[in-house]
Amino acid sequence: MATTGRVVSVKFLGFLQRLAGHREASVEVAADATLADLLDALARSYGPAFASAIFRTPGDVHTHLRVFVNEEEAQVTDRIVTGGEAAQVAVLVVPGFEGGSR
Amino acid sequence: MVIDLKRCIGCYGCQLSCKAEHGTPPGVFFARVIKREFGTFPNTQLVFLPTLCFHCTNAPCVDVCPTGASHYREGGVVDITREECVGCLACTQACPYGARYFNDAPGAYFPGQGLTPYEQAKYSDDNVGIVMKCNFCIDRVTAGLEPACVANCASRARTFGDLDDPGSEVSHLIRLRGGEQLQPELGTHPNVYYLPPA
Amino acid sequence: MTASDRWVASTCGLCYGTCSIRGHVKDDVLVKIEGNPESEIGRGRLCGKGVSGIMTLYDPNRVNAPLKRTNPLKGKGVDPGWQEISWAEALDEVAGRLKKVHDDDPRKLFIQRTTTNTSIRAPMMMFGAAFGTPNSWAAGGGLHCGNGAHLIGGIYHASWSLVPDFQHCKYAIYFGASKGHGAGHVACTNMQQAADARIRGMKLVVVDPMSNFASAKATEWVPIRPGTDAAMGLAMVNVILNDLGVWDAEYLATKTNAPYLIGPDRCYVRDADTKKPLVWDTGRGRAVPYDDADAAGLALEGEYDAGGVRARPAFARLREHVRQFTPEWAEGLSTVPAAAIRRIAREFATEAMVGSTIVIDGQRLPYRPVAAIYFRGAQGHKNSVHNCYTLELLNQIVGAADVVGGALGFNPVCYGHPETGKPWYEPKPGPDGLMVTGTWVAPHLPYPIPDPKHPESMSLGGLFPLGMFGTTMASRDQEELWTQFKLPYRPEIMLNYGANSLLSVGNSDTVAETLTRIPFVVSFEITLTEFSEFADIVLPDTSYLESLDSRPNVPFIFNHPAGQGQWSWPIRQPVVAPEGQRRQCADVLLELVDRIGIREEFNAIANTHLKLDGPHRLDFKTPYTYAEVCDRELKSHFGAERGLEWFREHGVISWPKRVEEVYWRPFLKVRVPIYWEFLVGLNAKAKTIANARGLTWDDAWYDPLPRWLPCPSHEVRDARYDLWGFYYRDTLHTNSFTNENPWLDEAARLDPYSYTIAVNAATGRRKGLRDGQEVWLESPHNRRVRGRVRLTETVHPDCVGVGGCAGHWAKTLPIARGKGIMFNDLLEVDWDHGSPVNLNLDTCVKLRIVA
Ligand code: SF4
Ligand code: SF4
Ligand code: SF4
């Protein structure tokens, strides 16, 4: 595991903004961190309400969770890759209004 | 025309597409759907019976018409010449199938609120005080289309064609499924056949 | 075709069937609506409603300008004193209030929409998500029609609903369903396919308290008491498994969790390392993870030592469990004779031809020409989950699910247009190998079930993850429950799109009370309804014939014809230009997005929700019109050259379906649960949260195996209430919406049943009732509605049936006013009348007839 961390800027969209208490944050992650690692870190720092909005069940994100890196949708298993620039990560939960699972 | 009572589900698509096609005023229907119950619970059979003018070969409505407004057209279609109808109602009484409607007064679908743009486009003052009925969508048929009720029926319960041609689909269906006229004993010889519901 | 005489391809909006239409416009007047023969959706033929849309468009009672109330008093029949205002004034006020709520607590926004016009679903969902509110519902939709049926459709078929494979099915049983008989999802194409199936000789058994649309065309009508479908279904499953010994072992072993070993705690026995459920591999004589076993050797029966406990395969458990449900027991509840239950079970099992195959398009596929189909009738009860779960098991045990001839979900698999490969989706295996749906636009994800949590939404949804919508959105005890669950906010603003919840939810007094508690209500309307009496601002919407939408018929799992044939993606476009100051709701929403300052979230959501792709994605920061969003959506799916302009001209794009899309089950490695193991854990967790809040809990509803559970209407002991009342969907009307259409109203007045109370003739005679007599229907809760009796042989002697959702009283609906009966006025909307597992409302009521 690489030790040199780096900083990504995270934007909380929709109701996550309310749960996080602000719209944007800078988070330090490991150089080889995946988005899942980032989400874990966020869940730890923002508490259980935020965590349960992200995770369906511990360790498993909601089917409705969407993550964007520089406006492009990404998978949580993806590494936070950037072209040298600081990554802009946006996190959002789309509603699963239809057919259970809110 | 052949109407398949096994296919028909009583959706009223024919009755309403006919209304839309012809812009018939309130209370006037060239095509209608009638529901009838047979048997007793639990052996109940609900039958949907789509109707229209049967364009009878021996049409009593034509016989009784004093002005000749009701007449046979080429191909057997029974039609009414609007200008010649005097609204005497002899034909509405003569038709044993209730296929004719007297349009007694100018109507509107939103009473007291004037005519909709559609009604303005479709209604004609010439229709008031005369008898109206289905003419097998003669204009559509001439243009190579099927009658509106046939073209729209989602269950494909209505088939239009030449009963005189033994090779036509209608003749084939009548033979295959045992098509029958409604009340043949009246001797009117309707040109609409029904295929049995079961 | 000239400018003054043209045909415009578009989409019907008079029910969620969304058939493709073309409108004939002459001198700017719409003179005819026909089906669009180029589209698979309706195949050029429409129902009676669809051709009558002209009268909805030209209703002189349409709203033409924004309105603001002057009378602060809200109530049923109280005139709001509407005053016309400008759009600028209306939007200033609406946006101002929304912004305030958004900055304070976005959950205070409550979004309500109709189920009828499905085009609004995506824009409203995206708006709600961007705003950040979890509070949205379809005004009683779900409570009545979908919490159970769609849930089960999703879990077993990755789809919204199911139909028999009309092209190949030989024996279908409908439990309170009417697929193919004039209304509902895929109405018009289904009508054609069902009629062809009848002529081909498909047998249809209809289990229903009333013999109307489907039963009239059935080979056999089986009258049943409402809400007892599971009793009959359980007895059938018992007969098939235990008396006849018929099941599809290969299907069960490979496509379901039937072989998963269940321990004494009713849960899966899991592999110590991988935590995967274990199965018994008879070849190797030991328990192995389910995905590590040889399909041929999987045990479905027996008892084994696995993981240190005595365990049995789920299938063995099921088989044992259903032994208690004898046909005689079922007869007592359902009134269906035990002999008939045995015979129908045998016919179903025999016709299933377990083990047989057929070659379609050169591929050898399983052939199971039977289908058990359930919908609103089986589902509209407190016990909807167990009803639908039981009935679906009929398909599952004989392997008749998404194979040739069987029960087909609506298009859970699509591999896209041949030139672009889009839209592309398929179900995938999720936790424990069970199926997760693969679709977009309206996420339909009953599985995997999220952990229940302390509820934060008005519906208490978080605690009941199997529910779609909950009664507390408009219930008598709403405030009590919100207090009990410490809901930290109350609704401040309601945004309503075209729903008339006064009529559509339950008794109107309860609904009215909940509405008056909301300080500010904005409603997009085409006419003023009973709901509008509770609005503060009404915005004049365009009708479906004046609107644009790039996805009127998606998602395909909701409303695209199943079975072989074609894919069609049509658009909706204005057939005529909107009159007055009408504006399309989606455009107004986009303006509100900008005024509130949530463009970034909206655009992000639109990208993922609509699957906007590559260059067609929305920049987070750029404003777009709704037409631009539609254009980008079409290009994302069908290529840059097929945007809105292309679709405006062509109306629809179609391409052939592939056999592995239609009969996908054998091709995909997904399993479905015949044993609902996840309910055990869900129950424990949800119960803990509920008990902590003082809510009593009944574990029976969370049994991992199906049961019959009584609804409130089954437990009324007062003998004066001797009849079960239910409503059914009339072919002429879509809920309360079309009552104002004078062509449809005229036809309904001439119809013997549409606007009347159907009473069994013998029952009626016994009570001294006359045909046409005016009577009251009275509930044990002292609610009553008035209507005319229709004595008929088409209804069960213990029941009365009421057509549709009519009985309007608003003066602003002169055609609809006073016609038909508002059955829903008899319904209680409270916790006791909802399901504690999926929040479904009980839509049956025990009642008496009072002359
Ligand atoms: S349109 Fe066809 S199915 Fe519908 S009522 Fe008429 S004949 Fe019957
Ligand atoms: S059905 Fe009636 S109106 Fe039509 S031709 Fe026969 S008699 Fe005349
Ligand atoms: S089924 Fe629904 S969408 Fe289709 S034509 Fe009828 S009302 Fe319109």
Tell me the H-state helices in chain A: 16-20, 35-46, 48-54
Spacing, Cα B55 to ligand 2 middle (Å): 5
Q: Label residue C326 left, alpha or beta by phi (over 0 means left) and psi (-120 to 50 means alpha).
A: beta
Alpha carbon C624 to chain centroid distance? 31
Residue C16, classed as helix, strand or coil, is coil
Ligand 1 contact via B95 beta carbon (within 6 Å): no
Q: Give the nearest ligand 3 atom to C46 CA.
A: 5
Instruction: Give the separation between CA C205 and CA C586, rounded to whole angstroms.
Output: 43
Q: Is C206 contained in some domain? A: yes
C406 residue type, one letter: G
Question: What are the residues whose beta carbons fall under 8 Å from the beta carbon of C322, sequence distance 6 or more?
Answer: C234, C237, C238, C241, C242, C706
Residues 613 through 632 of chain C touching chain A, CB cutoff 8 Å: 617, 619-620
* Structural domain harbouring C5: 1-59
**DSSP β-ladder status, C537-540 and C566-570:** unpaired
Give every CB contact of residue C721 below 8 A, 6+ residues apart in sequence: C778, C779, C780, C846, C847, C848
Closest-CA residue, ligand 2 atom 5, reads B55
Helix (H/G/I), strand (E/B), else coil: C522: strand
Cα dist from C100 to A16, C85, C334, C539, whole Å? 18, 22, 54, 20
- Measured CA to CA, the distance from residue A97 to residue C28 in angstroms comes to 39
**Model pTM score:** 0.96
Give the count of domains, chain A.
1
- The reply to whether C151 touches chain A by the CB within 8 Å rule is yes
Pocket test for ligand 2, best of B28, B79, B100, B130 (most atoms within 8 A of CB): B100
DSSP states along C338-359 = HHHHHHHHHHHHHHT-TT-EEE
Instruction: State the ligand closest to the CA atom of C49.
Output: 3
Please tell me the distance from the alpha carbon of residue C536 to that of residue C520, in angstroms, as a whole number: 6
Helix/strand/coil (H, E, C) string of C374-418? ECHHHHCCCCHHHHHHHHHHHHHHCCCECCECCEEECCCCEECCC
* DSSP 8-state secondary structure symbol assigned to residue A85: S
Strands C309-313 and C357-360: unpaired
Whether omega for the bond prior to residue C519 falls within 30 degrees of 0, making it cis, is no
Whether C619 maps to a domain, the answer reads no
State the Cα–Cα distance between residues C609 and C613, nearest whole angstrom. Answer: 11
Q: Residues in chain B with pLDDT < 50? A: none
Tell whether C702 is covered by a domain: no
Residue A2: pLDDT band by 50, 70, 90 thresholds?
A: very low
pLDDT of residue A102: 34
Q: What confidence category does residue A83 fall into, taking pLDDT thresholds of 50, 70 and 90?
A: low
Confidence band (pLDDT; 50, 70, 90) for A86? low
Q: Which of B1, B28, B53, B72 to mutate to test the pocket of ligand 2 (most atoms within 8 A of CB)?
A: B53
* pLDDT at residue C270 greater than cutoff 90: yes
Q: Which helix (H) or strand (E) holds C92?
A: helix C87-104
In 3D space, the residue among C841, C748, C851, C849 whose CA is nearest the CA of residue C800 turns out to be C849
The residue type at C692? A
CB contact under 8 A, C731 and B12: yes
Closest CA to B71 of B81, B57, B58, B82: B81
| C162-193 burial code (b ≥16 CB/10 A, e <16) | bbbbbbbbbbbbbbbbbbbbbbbbbbbbbbbb
* Residue at token pair 């005679």: C765
- Angle at alpha carbon of residue C478, lines to C472 and C480, rounded to 5°: 135
Give the residue from B195, B192, B197, B198 showing the smallest Cα distance to B32.
B192
What is the C-alpha end-to-end distance of chain B, expressed in Å?
19
Nearest-by-CA chain A residue for C459: A102
Q: In this structure, is residue C453 part of a structural domain?
A: no
Same domain, C215 and C356: yes
Torsion over CA: C164, C169, C173, C177 (sign): positive
Whose tokens are 């409130």? That residue is C712
User: Cβ(C423)–Cβ(C416) under 8 Å?
Assistant: yes
Domain identity same for C178 and C264: yes
Q: Is residue A62, in this structure, part of any structural domain at all? A: yes
pLDDT of B53: 98
Pocket test for ligand 3, best of C11, C15, C40 (most atoms within 8 A of CB): C15
CB contact under 8 A, C131 and A14: yes
Query: Strands, DSSP E only, in C169-269?
Result: 171-175, 203-207, 220-222, 261-262
Closest among C144, C209, C147, C391 to C760, alpha carbons compared: C209
Are residues A100 and C442, on separate chains, in Cβ contact within 8 Å? no
Residues in Cβ contact with C811 at an 8 Å cutoff, skipping those fewer than 6 apart: C817
My answer on whether C722 and C837 are in the same domain is yes
For residue A11, which residues of chain C lie inside 8 Å, CB to CB?
600
Q: How far is CA C606 from CA C122, C412, C581, in A?
A: 9, 22, 27
Ligand 1 atom with least separation from CA of B149: 1
Give the domain CATH number at A63. Answer: 3.10.20.30
What is the structure's pLDDT at C699?
95
Candidates C389, C608, C616, C689: best to mutate against A (most CBs of A within 10 A) is C608
The enclosing domain of C18 has a CATH number of: 2.20.25.90
pLDDT tens by residue, A17-70: 888 999 999 998 888 889 999 999 999 999 988 998 888 887 788 877 889 998
| Secondary structure element (H or E) that encloses residue C607, with its range | helix C599-609
B and C touching (3 or more beta-carbon pairs closer than 8 Å): yes
Q: Structure tokens of C689?
A: 């949260």
Number of domains in chain C: 3
| Total CB pairs under 8 A between chain A and C | 122
C181 Cα–ligand 1 center, Å: 10
CB contact under 8 A, B44 and C793: yes
Find chains touching chain A: ≥3 CB pairs under 8 Å.
Answer: C
Place of tokens 């009803």: C387
Residue C780 has pLDDT above 60, yes or no: yes
Sequence letter at residue C65: A
Quick check: A29 and A37 in contact, CB under 8 A?
yes
Domain annotation covers residue C821: yes
| Whether residue C844 sits in one domain with residue C765 | yes
Is residue C739 predicted with pLDDT exceeding 50?
yes
What does the pLDDT look like over C65-82, one tens digit per residue?
A: 999 999 999 999 999 999
- C576 close contact with B: CB closer than 8 A: no
Distance, in angstroms, between C150 CA and closest chain A CA? Answer: 6
Q: How many CB atoms within 10 Å of residue A7?
A: 11
* Rounded-to-5 percentages of helix, strand, coil across chain B: 30, 20, 55
> What's the CA-to-centroid distance between B62 and ligand 2, angstroms?
8
Edge-to-edge strand order for the sheet containing B193-195?
A: B158-159, B2-4, B193-195
C226-261 pLDDT tens trace = 999 999 999 999 999 999 999 999 999 999 999 999
Three-state DSSP class for residue A27: strand
Q: Does residue B148's CB lie within 6 angstroms of at least one atom of ligand 1?
A: no
| Residues whose CB is less than 8 angstroms from the CB of residue C18 and which lie 6 or more positions away in sequence, other chains included | C11, C12, C41, C118, C552, C553, C559
Domain annotation covers residue C311? yes
- B52 close to ligand 2 (CB < 6 Angstrom): no
- What sections of C670-799 are H helices per DSSP? 678-692, 742-750, 761-766
Residue A98 has pLDDT above 60, yes or no: no
- Which pLDDT belongs to residue A4? 63
Q: What CATH code is carried by the domain that includes residue C824?
A: 2.40.40.20
What pLDDT, on a 0 to 100 scale, did the predictor assign at position C598? 95
Q: Is C59 on the interface with B (CB under 8 A)?
A: yes
% of chain C at pLDDT higher than 70: 99
Within this chain, do residues C296 and C197 fall inside the same structural domain, yes or no? yes
Is residue C625 in some structural domain? no
**Angstrom distance (rounded) from CA A99 to CA C442:** 9
CA atoms within 13 A on the CB side of C819: 29
A8-12, B159-163, C193-197, C201-205: which range is least confident on average? A8-12
B13 φ, ψ (degrees, to nearest 5) = -60, -40
**Tokens matching residue B38:** 């047979």
Tokens for A11, please give them.
């934007």
Among C59, C84, C99, the domain-final residue is: C59
User: Which one of the ligands is nearest to B191 CA?
Assistant: 2
Instruction: Give the gap in angstroms from C-alpha B66 to the nearest C-alpha of chain C.
Output: 32
Q: C742 with C673, same domain? A: no
C208–chain B Cβ distance below 8 A for any pair: no
Residue C94 lies in a domain: no
Using one digit for the tens of pLDDT, what is the confidence trace for C814-846? 999 999 999 999 999 999 999 999 999 999 999
**Which numbered atom of ligand 2 lies nearest the CA of B54?**
1
pLDDT at A100: 35
Convert the pLDDT of each residue in C90-144 to its tens digit.
999 999 999 999 999 999 999 999 999 888 999 999 999 899 898 999 998 878 8
**Residue C18 alpha carbon, nearest atom of ligand 3:** 3
Q: Check CB contact of C617 with chain B, cutoff 8 Å.
A: no
Cβ atoms of C472 and C134 within 8 Å: the answer is no
Which residues, 6+ apart, have CB-to-CB distance to B19 below 8 Å? B29, B30, C51, C52, C743
pLDDT of residue A101 exceeding 60, the answer is: no
How far, in Å, CA of C216 to CA of C658, rounded?
Answer: 34
For residue A65, being part of any structural domain is answered with yes
* pLDDT at residue C295, rounded to an integer: 79
| pLDDT number for residue A84 | 61
Task: Identify the architecture of domain B2-195 in CATH.
Answer: 2-Layer Sandwich (3.30)
Average pLDDT over residues C428-450: 86
Indicate whether residue B90 lines ligand 2 (CB < 6 A).
no
Q: What is the mean pLDDT of chain C?
A: 96
| Cβ contacts of C395 within 8 Å, gap of 6 or more | C156, C370, C371, C372, C401, C406, C407
Chains that touch C (3 or more CB pairs under 8 A): A, B
Which ligand 3 atom is nearest residue C182's CA? 1
Residue A1 has what pLDDT?
42
The domain containing residue A64 runs over which residues? 5-93
- Using an 8 Å Cβ cutoff, are A60 and A77 in contact? no
Take residue C121 and report the two structure tokens written for it: 């679903």
* Ligand 1 close to Cβ of residue B25 (< 6 A): no
